[in-house]
Structure 1
Amino acid sequence: MATRKTSSDDLLGPVTLAVGQEDLLLDRAVREVVAAARAADADTDVRDLTSDQLQPGSLAELTSPSLFAERKVLIVRNAQDLSADSVKDVKGYLDAPVEDITLVLLHAGGAKGKGLLDAARKAGAREVACPKTTKPAERLTFVRQEFRALGRSATPEACQALVDSIGSDLRELASAVTQLTADVDGTIDEAVVGRYYTGRAEASSFNVADRAVEGRAAEALEALRWSLSTGVAPVLITSALAQGVRAIGKLSSARGGGRPADLARELGMPPWKIDRVRQQMRGWTPDGVAQALRAVAEADAGVKGGGDDPEYALEKAVVAVARAARSRRLS
């Protein structure tokens, strides 16, 4: 859930300030206030406005007393984009808020619109932090908090597996936690997550590996960047690269002319994979396989803490594997 930065827990206080760029947390901050208001008054009037909809002078009209004395929640999204005149109106309102009206300001944070941000804080607004999650550790913490908020227990391995499989989208992570808690009784472990979700990350990482061992460097790099942007763990990608290169090495050293079923038994691969690897190995040489395995090993060490930039280590490995895949044509 969104993290409160102030000590105030009054959801129906005059002003709530949600600061950050994580859409899920911003929406939750709004929903919490609206739910509290409607619990207090089922007829609460909710107005959800974008910054361009709050024109100069309109705030006074929106906060004017109602004939029916109903509770109101006014939501202003992207408050950092308000015009100077509208900011002036909001600042004036902060000095004298109206009873039974809760103003919710959604602000991206940062330098733009900082004057309004400072004014809301000075006025004692209840503040909710909604930062964008950019690090795997932050997403892991989010998943743990989601399970805890739903009153369920999940092992550390299960939480990590879920982050590795789903990626960086908090909405998808939250949805996955909700589904698991609804479908599974007892403690949620890694095996449960594997049954539901692990294949997604594997498919993404093996897509990178397939493009690389086929010598398609540009497509492999594109797939790599997409995988990383969706939160696929770098170790899954190095593992897929290693498996792809090893499969080519195994098949190239096997006895030629064998049927896929016979080779599958000999090499421990399913028959369908024998056919795929045969297509992928056309440009490979034994030296190319050795070079690619060294490159993948270096990348694996880099993503496990041996280097400063895991993404660069992966990109370097992908290019090296793709180049090795064309070693027969280049020789």
Structure 2
Amino acid sequence: MRAKTRSRVAAKGKIQRARWSQVRLAPIVLLSGPEDLLADRARQLLRAAAQQQASDQQQEVEFSDLDAREYASGSLLSVASPSLFAQPRFIWVDHLEQMTDAFLSDAIDYIGQADPDVTVVLRHRKGVRGKKLLTAIRDVASALEVECAELKRDDDKQTFVREELQLAGRRIDPDAARALVDAFSADTTELAAACRQLVADVTENITRADIDRYFGGRVETTGFAIADAALAGQTAKALVLVRHAGQQGMNAVPIVAAIATKVRLMAAVCEVHASPQQLASRVGGAPWQIRRAQQDAARWNPVELGRAVRAVADTDAQIKGQSVDGGYALERLVRRLATRRIGS
């Protein structure tokens, strides 16, 4: 009876499913749903797994990025074809919801004969475009689907926090997870950045006291709003936001972390002539983040950005070492960035 059940499942070719935090390499991986944060984290985990697997075999992975919106016939089969040195291949294909007819045709042809030594990761957000392809993928037994549902409810965001920290070898108390989500409920990108900050600064179990220390008193003002204003040269607006945050008791550490994230990304894309899709895999950001960083970086030059990176790092060290008043150090940094007076 058990053998018959296995046979029916295999014949039906039902796709396997996994949570983003448990994603694993497969010939075809479908990241479906509107939540780019979960899709980006799944993609990063897959890339890391591919690199680790290749390293264990003393090989190097051949990475390729395709955009289904601008796809030219034959591109998928070309990058999926075996290389001269038989390297494992990892192919990222974005924007399936806007795919060309050429991609639809090539992808349907490919999934019927997918190479087990190739990982093809497909990103489809929403909509009926490509429904025929999605149906075909979901009928492949060796394929894997990760549903990237929008993180709307606080419970979903708390689950994300627990999984994100668990991947980094950390545990968080339930009341601490609730407090963290309360602080960053409006912006999942900042929530993820807060998790990274905790991983960097807290070496043991994360408690409510840790959340209060780093993020206590946070209300409407966000670190990224301050960073946006400062890096756009809006001195008055940035300083008003900083002082409002201080009045509300917001810790300077997460604000500096937000500024650091934006400055580092701007420095990574400054004067680099490539599309957001091409740069995303290189610099570790989502395409929309790369696009925003390119727009921001256009107002700066590499020398200025290098000085900005050093200024942010110095401020971060000062406030964590408590060698200066956090509010004063933050306001000084914001003023220097907004006016470009960041020294040599």
**TM-score between the two structures when normalised by the length of structure 2:** 0.53
Q: Which residue of the partner structure matches residue 71 of structure 1?
A: 88
CA distance in 2 between counterparts of 1:11 and 1:156 reads 27
Give 2:69's aligned amino acid. Answer: D
Deviation at 1:6, TM superposition (A): 4.9
* 1:115 is aligned to 2:151: no
Q: Which residue of the partner structure matches residue 56 of structure 1?
A: 73
Deviation at 1:63, TM superposition (A): 2.1
> Residues 160 and 116 from structure 1, CA distance in 2 versus in 1: closer, same or farther, beyond 3 angstroms?
same
Give 1:188's aligned amino acid. Answer: I
Give 1:5's aligned amino acid. Answer: R
Counterpart pick for 2:63 among 14, 30, 46: 46
**Residues 217-273 of structure 1, C-alpha deviations (whole Å, 9 max, x = no match):** xxxxxxxxxxxxxxxxxxxxxxxxxxxxxxxxxxxxxxxxxxxxxxxxxxxxxxxxx
Report the secondary structure of 2:122's partner residue: strand
> Residues 184 and 57 from structure 1, CA distance in 2 versus in 1: closer, same or farther, beyond 3 angstroms?
closer
* 1:179 is aligned to 2:191: no
CA distance in 1 between counterparts of 2:29 and 2:185 reads 30
* 1:5 is aligned to 2:17: yes
Report the secondary structure of 1:12's partner residue: coil
Q: Which residue of the partner structure matches residue 217 of structure 2?
A: 199
CA distance in 1 between counterparts of 2:216 and 2:45 reads 32
Count of aligned pairs between the two proteins: 200
**Residues 186-227 of structure 1, C-alpha deviations (whole Å, 9 max, x = no match):** 4322232122112321658xxxxxxxxxxxxxxxxxxxxxxx
Identity of counterpart residues, as a percentage?
A: 37
Q: Which residue of the partner structure matches residue 150 of structure 1?
A: 168
Give 1:67's aligned amino acid. Answer: L
Counterpart pick for 2:187 among 154, 169, 173: 169
Deviation at 1:82, TM superposition (A): 1.0
Counterpart pick for 2:178 among 137, 157, 160: 160
RMSD between superposed Cα atoms in Å: 2.4
The answer to whether the Cα contact below 8 Å between 1:162 and 1:198 also exists between their aligned partners in 2 is no
The answer to whether the Cα contact below 8 Å between 2:23 and 2:42 also exists between their aligned partners in 1 is no
* 1:28 is aligned to 2:46: no
CA distance in 1 between counterparts of 2:126 and 2:53 reads 30
Q: Which residue of the partner structure matches residue 211 of structure 1?
A: none
CA distance in 2 between counterparts of 1:19 and 1:58 reads 22
> Residues 118 and 5 from structure 1, CA distance in 2 versus in 1: closer, same or farther, beyond 3 angstroms?
same
Deviation at 1:145, TM superposition (A): 2.5
**TM-score between the two structures when normalised by the length of structure 1:** 0.55
CA distance in 2 between counterparts of 1:153 and 1:60 reads 43
Deviation at 1:66, TM superposition (A): 1.6
* 1:104 is aligned to 2:117: no
Deviation at 1:97, TM superposition (A): 1.2
> Residues 158 and 102 from structure 1, CA distance in 2 versus in 1: closer, same or farther, beyond 3 angstroms?
same
Report the secondary structure of 1:32's partner residue: helix
Counterpart pick for 1:139 among 157, 170, 179: 157
* 1:16 is aligned to 2:33: no
> Residues 140 and 37 from structure 1, CA distance in 2 versus in 1: closer, same or farther, beyond 3 angstroms?
closer
Deviation at 1:47, TM superposition (A): 0.6
The answer to whether the Cα contact below 8 Å between 1:80 and 1:116 also exists between their aligned partners in 2 is no
Give 1:194's aligned amino acid. Answer: D
> Residues 5 and 12 from structure 1, CA distance in 2 versus in 1: closer, same or farther, beyond 3 angstroms?
closer
Counterpart pick for 2:147 among 110, 129, 150: 129
The answer to whether the Cα contact below 8 Å between 2:38 and 2:148 also exists between their aligned partners in 1 is yes
> Residues 142 and 108 from structure 1, CA distance in 2 versus in 1: closer, same or farther, beyond 3 angstroms?
same
Q: Identify unmatched segments of 5+ residues in structure 2.
A: 1-15, 223-344
Give 1:177's aligned amino acid. Answer: C
CA distance in 1 between counterparts of 2:221 and 2:118 reads 50
Larger Cα Rg: Structure 1 or Structure 2?
Answer: 1
Report the secondary structure of 1:48's partner residue: strand
> Residues 186 and 102 from structure 1, CA distance in 2 versus in 1: closer, same or farther, beyond 3 angstroms?
closer
CA distance in 1 between counterparts of 2:204 and 2:84 reads 52
> Residues 148 and 74 from structure 1, CA distance in 2 versus in 1: closer, same or farther, beyond 3 angstroms?
closer
